């Protein structure tokens, strides 16, 4: 009962109470929360002892956090015992147990390096209230069934469940035919999953092999491309496909009712390292995470900001899109002798224009792009260590020729020298 009351309280707080009349008020409120947070961390984290101001903290990454895991966290859990506990849960596919009241999990490792996250009971209830406030299509007092596709279940996600809100975990490693039958039995009002999974389900629905009609679809974990978003809207007859931009480092952005992705600046402070006028790399400080403080954590994601304020009225920064990772930037020798950086968006456009079809994009691993269009296959574009390009896709000879021509056109427009391009069949990775 206590847990339900706490989640309800956070739901009301974030949905109805926390409002800002202008950007200045938001930033002033953030500074107040940061000061309170730093006082707590300075007293409870061995690593951050006596650090009172944000400039006292170094910028960190996943390697730093894992190396300093024991001294950084405030709940006296060692990296060794946390890792053993999380790995055991993954192997047994049992994600219910907690370690001394702390939820422990492994990040999906889409950047190539897995991380460990710690979430206290208070943080878990706050997160549940926040997510429900952002994504329930109606009142929390209504009844909902939520189908959630993930690599691993967690107490964090199970916090969303109640008598009225039924949560159903779908393991992405399991058979899709079994999932389809279960989905039709449940008939979820809310469907949550990675774009690649959502597109597979949309394909089944388009072909008449799946009969579900969710009121809301929430995309997670991967980059949702505009072309894929448009197709999902069409197949499921929805005005908006919602998104959650969440990682080990926190819930960083969510969509508003108009489908615009906003940074969650009511729970995180984001410093922006600009790559150009619009693109930036976020440096995250989560002022609600106490068990495992996330302070000045530099992600390697590339976000593209919108210079226009969203019509929803929020003063939280609006994003045009999440473009991919810094690792996905390709580099080529320029004709002027200066190395040229080519952002993922330009690489994917070569594939989109060449195929003349709606193909998506998922930034993955080192200098790698992958996409699913839900209809006729995937592709991956890789820049090899010697600078050459390899395209993995099941293309016809005509399509290969078109891809070559689009890359030649891009190189000419941007003034860089195009290396050779090799084509190979696509191989999928279920995980």
pLDDT at residue number 113: 62
Please give the distance of CA 233 from its chain centroid, rounded to a whole number: 20
Structure tokens at 147: 């189908």
Both 273 and 144 in a single domain? yes
Task: Answer with the one of 293, 325, 357 that is the final residue of a domain.
Answer: 325
Question: Buried b vs exposed e over 34-67: b needs ≥16 C-beta within 10 Å?
Answer: beebbeebeebbebbeebeebeebeebebeebee
Residue 372 scores a pLDDT above 80:
no
pLDDT digits 0-9 by tens, 298-320:
998 889 999 888 999 899 999 99
pLDDT digits 0-9 by tens, 212-263:
999 999 998 777 888 888 999 999 999 999 998 877 677 899 999 999 999 9
Q: At 159, is the pLDDT very low, low, confident or very high (cuts 50, 70, 90)? A: low
Contact 184, 159 (CB under 8 A): no
Task: Answer with the one of 274, 300, 325 that is the final residue of a domain.
Answer: 325
For the domain that residue 185 is a member of, what is the CATH number? 3.40.50.12780
How many other β-carbons are positioned within 10 Å of the β-carbon of residue 190?
21
pLDDT at residue number 357: 40
Both 136 and 196 in a single domain? yes
Q: Is 431 within the bounds of a domain? A: no
pLDDT at residue number 115: 78
- More confident of the two residues 42 and 222: 42
**Phi, psi angles (nearest 5°) of residue 149:** -90, 120
pLDDT at residue number 367: 39
Contact 229, 210 (CB under 8 A): no
pLDDT at residue number 368: 37
pLDDT digits 0-9 by tens, 318-369:
999 888 777 778 889 988 888 888 877 788 788 877 665 434 333 332 333 3
Both 320 and 353 in a single domain? no
Q: Is 191 within the bounds of a domain? A: yes
pLDDT digits 0-9 by tens, 200-220:
899 999 999 999 999 999 998
Both 321 and 347 in a single domain? no
Report the share of the chain in percent with pLDDT over 70. Answer: 87
Task: Answer with the one of 294, 325, 356 that is the final residue of a domain.
Answer: 325
Split into its structural domains, the chain has a count of 2
pLDDT at residue number 158: 58
Mean pLDDT estimate for the chain? 84
């Amino acid at each position: 009962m206590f847990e339900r009351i706490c989640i309800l309280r956070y739901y009301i707080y974030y949905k109805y109470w926390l409002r800002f009349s202008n950007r200045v008020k938001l930033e002033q409120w953030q500074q107040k929360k940061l000061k309170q947070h730093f006082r707590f961390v300075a007293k409870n984290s061995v690593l951050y002892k006596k650090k009172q101001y944000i400039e006292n903290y170094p910028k960190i990454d996943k390697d730093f956090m894992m190396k300093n895991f024991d001294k950084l966290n405030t709940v006296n859990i060692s990296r060794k015992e946390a890792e053993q506990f999380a790995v055991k849960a993954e192997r047994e596919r049992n994600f219910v147990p907690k370690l001394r009241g702390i939820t422990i999990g492994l990040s999906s490792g889409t950047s190539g390096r897995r991380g460990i996250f710690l979430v206290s009971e208070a943080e878990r209830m706050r997160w549940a209230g926040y997510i429900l406030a952002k994504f329930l299509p109606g009142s929390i007092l209504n009844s909902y069934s939520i189908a959630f596709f993930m690599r691993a279940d967690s107490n964090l996600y199970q916090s969303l469940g109640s008598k009225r809100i039924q949560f159903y975990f779908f393991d992405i490693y399991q058979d899709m035919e079994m999932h389809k039958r279960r989905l039709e039995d449940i008939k979820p009002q809310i469907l949550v999953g990675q774009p690649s999974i959502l597109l597979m389900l949309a394909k089944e629905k388009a072909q008449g092999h799946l009969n579900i009609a969710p009121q809301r679809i929430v995309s997670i974990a991967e980059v949702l491309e505009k072309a894929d978003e448009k197709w999902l809207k069409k197949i499921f007859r929805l005005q908006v496909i919602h998104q959650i931009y969440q990682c080990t480092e926190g819930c960083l952005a969510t969509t508003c009712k108009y489908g615009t992705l906003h940074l969650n600046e009511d729970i995180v402070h984001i410093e922006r390292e600009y790559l150009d006028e619009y693109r930036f790399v976020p440096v995250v400080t989560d002022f609600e995470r106490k068990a495992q403080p996330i302070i000045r954590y530099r992600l390697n994601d590339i976000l593209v900001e919108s210079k226009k304020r969203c019509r929803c009225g929020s003063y939280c920064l609006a994003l045009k899109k999440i473009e991919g990772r810094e690792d996905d930037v390709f580099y080529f020798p320029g004709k002027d002798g200066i190395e040229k950086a080519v952002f993922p968006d330009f690489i994917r456009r070569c594939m989109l224009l060449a195929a003349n079809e709606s193909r998506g994009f998922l930034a993955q691993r080192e200098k790698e792009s992958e996409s699913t269009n839900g209809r006729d296959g995937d592709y991956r574009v890789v820049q090899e260590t010697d600078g050459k390009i390899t395209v993995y896709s099941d293309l016809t000879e005509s399509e290969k020729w078109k891809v070559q021509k689009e890359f030649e056109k891009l190189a000419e427009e941007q003034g860089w020298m195009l290396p050779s391009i090799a084509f190979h069949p696509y191989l999928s990775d279920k995980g």
